[in-house]
Amino acid sequence: MPSETLLAVLKANGILPVASPAAFSFELLTGGFWNRVYRLRCKEPTSIDWVVKQFVQVPVNPLFPILPAAEYAALRFIQGQECAPRPIAFIPDSSIGSLLVYDYVQGGSWNGDLVAAATLLVRIQQIPVNAFAMQAFRRLPTDAAALQEHADVILQIHPGAVSDSVRQFRPKVPAQSGDSVARRVLVHTDCGPGNMVSSPDGLRLIDWQCPGIGDGLQDVVTFISPAMQVLYGYPVLTLAQEQQFLETYFSALGENALGEQATRTRFHSVRSSHHYRFAAYCAMRSQDTVASDEKTSRLYGVALRAELEMLHRLLSEGLDP
C-alpha cells in the first residue's frame, strides 16, 4: 500500500500534523503472522517514532483471534506499567481498515533472558482487573475440562489422521481443577518469544491483538510451549531453562507459602490441557496451509511434533493429572 494513503488517513483523523509526505518515512516491519505493521518516523526532529498496525481481514482464528479494539484497550489498561508500548491512537474504521498506532519500542528480539520474561508476566498479572477491563476483554477458558473441550472443537475442523494423532494424547481431566482459586487477570494469550522486545528500558510485550481475562497461568504455559518457541524461530527450552523460568515466576508472585503451593497445584492441573490445545491448534494450521503454503504447513508440523513430545514427557513423568 502506498505510504501516502496511510499518511492521509492518519492526518484526516487528526493523528498527524499537516505536513508533506516527504517529511515522513515508512518501513514495513517483519515478524507478524497476519497484519501489516509499519514503522513511521518523521525526518524532522520530533517525538514521532511510531508503529502503525493495519489489521487485515482473515478467517476467524479459534485460538488467536484478531481483536483490534481489544488490543488498543489492553495497551491503555497497562499504560505506564513499563511492560508494553505506549498507545497513541486507534482508528476502528477507515477506508483501509482498522489502524492502531503506538510508540515504537527500541530494541531487538527477546535475548533469551528467562528471568526477565517471567518477571514481566508477573508485573502484568499484578495489575488489578477493574471495571474497564471486565468490559473491554473477552473471557477465557481456565479449567482443564473447558480447555480440552476447546481443543476438541479445533480438532474437528480437519478430521483425519493428523487430528487423531493429537487425540491420543488427550489428558485426563482432574477431579478438582483448581479453577475456583484462579485470580482473574489480563492475559496476552500469544506471549511467545517473538512478541517480546528486549529494549534498553527492559523487556516489553507487544502484539496484544487477542487478549482476554483469565488465568495468568495461560501465559506461563504459552511461553514454555515448545510449539510457540518453534513458531517464533527459537529452540525449544531445555528442562533446566523451563524450571528456571517457572521458579522465577512462582517466586516473583510474592504469594505466601500456602498461596504459592495453590498456584503450583493449579499449574499442574491445567498444564497438560493447555499443551493439548496448542497441539490441536498446530494440527489445524498445518492442514489449513498444506495446499496454499507448504513452508508454513511444514513449520506447524514441526511445532506439532514438539508439542506432542512435551505431552508425552508429562505423561511419562506422571505429571498429567
Spatial strand order of the sheet with 138-139 comes to 138-139, 212-215, 184-187
- pLDDT at residue number 64: 96
Q: Evaluate whether residue 181 is within a structural domain.
A: yes
Are 236 and 148 in the same domain? yes
- pLDDT at residue number 2: 63
The pLDDT tens digits for 4-22 are: 889 999 999 999 876 677 7
Band of pLDDT at residue 32, cut at 50, 70 and 90? low
Band of pLDDT at residue 181, cut at 50, 70 and 90? low
Total domains in the chain come to: 2
Q: How far apart are the C-alpha atoms of 307 and 61, rounded to whole Å?
A: 19
Q: Evaluate whether residue 85 is within a structural domain.
A: yes
The pLDDT tens digits for 137-149 are: 999 999 999 999 9
Domain closes at, from 104, 122, 138: 104
Q: How far apart are the C-alpha atoms of 317 and 116, rounded to whole Å?
A: 28
Paired sense of beta strands 138-139 and 87-91, if any: unpaired
Backbone angles phi, psi at 254, to 5 degrees: 70, 20
Q: Evaluate whether residue 7 is within a structural domain.
A: yes
- pLDDT at residue number 26: 87
Are 29 and 73 in the same domain? yes
Are 31 and 78 in the same domain? yes
Please tell me what DSSP assigns to residue 197. E
- Alpha helices by DSSP H, the chain: 3-12, 68-77, 114-125, 131-136, 144-155, 161-167, 217-224, 226-231, 239-252, 257-288, 294-316
Other beta carbons within 10 Å of 200: 7
CATH number of the CATH domain containing 153: 3.90.1200.10
Are 136 and 262 in the same domain? yes
- Residue 60 domain boundaries: 3-104
CATH number of the CATH domain containing 65: 3.30.200.20
Is the pLDDT reported for residue 180 higher than 90? no
Q: Evaluate whether residue 96 is within a structural domain.
A: yes
Are 283 and 197 in the same domain? yes
- pLDDT at residue number 179: 47
DSSP 3-state assignment of 24? strand
